[in-house]
Amino acid sequence: MLKGQSRKELSHARIVDVASKAIRRAGYRGIGVADIMKEAGLTHGGFYAHFDSRDALVVEAMAKAGQENIASLLQATERRLTQGGTRFQALVETYLNAAHIERMEDGCVIAALSSEMTRQEDVVREEARRRVDAMVALVHSALPDGSEESEAAVVTATMVGALQLARTLGGKAGSALLVQTRQALIGRHQHSTHH
């Protein structure tokens, strides 16, 4: 147990961790309170000691998933940078990687949930917007100096959409789409760094 963390705080963190994986793996329907509590090793009845509502859990799960996504993208981007190329190239190659097609529960929360967003409560949609804003900011930080934020939004939309379509297509067709999208984005921005 970490110093200063109560049993309740540890249980809360465990529930959020389980839910953050479940929401990426199975979408909003993947967050069934009874199943999440069971997987976290806690009783169903204890849920409301931690959260006011299911939506409150969903918001925390999305936030944790998004923060994990950004952290793992940054780490993987740094590792790729040691092999040469630009930060932007490393980020695009990391995100649009064939392994990302299968690894749903550790993958991008935006790609996992965007299509379901219009049917969610405002509090959930607000968290989704924060996740998108964070991803756009990450992409913007990797683009060449002087790039517009609007360009970062377009690149983010392209990457997320390509991942969603690659997951839909699956197999060779899905992997080929990721390769084509990677080449198009990197080609476009390698060209822009020479001006």
Q: Is 27 helix (H, G, I), strand (E, B) or coil?
A: coil
Q: 84: exposed, middle or buried (C-beta count within 10 Å: 0-12, 13-18, 19+)?
A: exposed
Helix (H) / strand (E) containing 149:
helix 149-169
Question: pLDDT digit string (tens) for 7-38?
Answer: 888 899 999 999 999 998 888 877 889 999 99
Q: Which helix (H) or strand (E) holds 18?
A: helix 7-26
**Residue 99: per-residue pLDDT:** 84
100-148: per-residue pLDDT in tens?
A: 888 777 788 998 888 888 888 889 999 999 999 999 999 999 999 889 9
Span 152-172, average pLDDT: 95
pTM across the whole model = 0.88
Q: How confident is the model at residue 190 (pLDDT cuts 50, 70, 90)?
A: confident
Q: Tell me what pLDDT residue 30 has.
A: 72
| Residue bearing tokens 């993987």 | 76
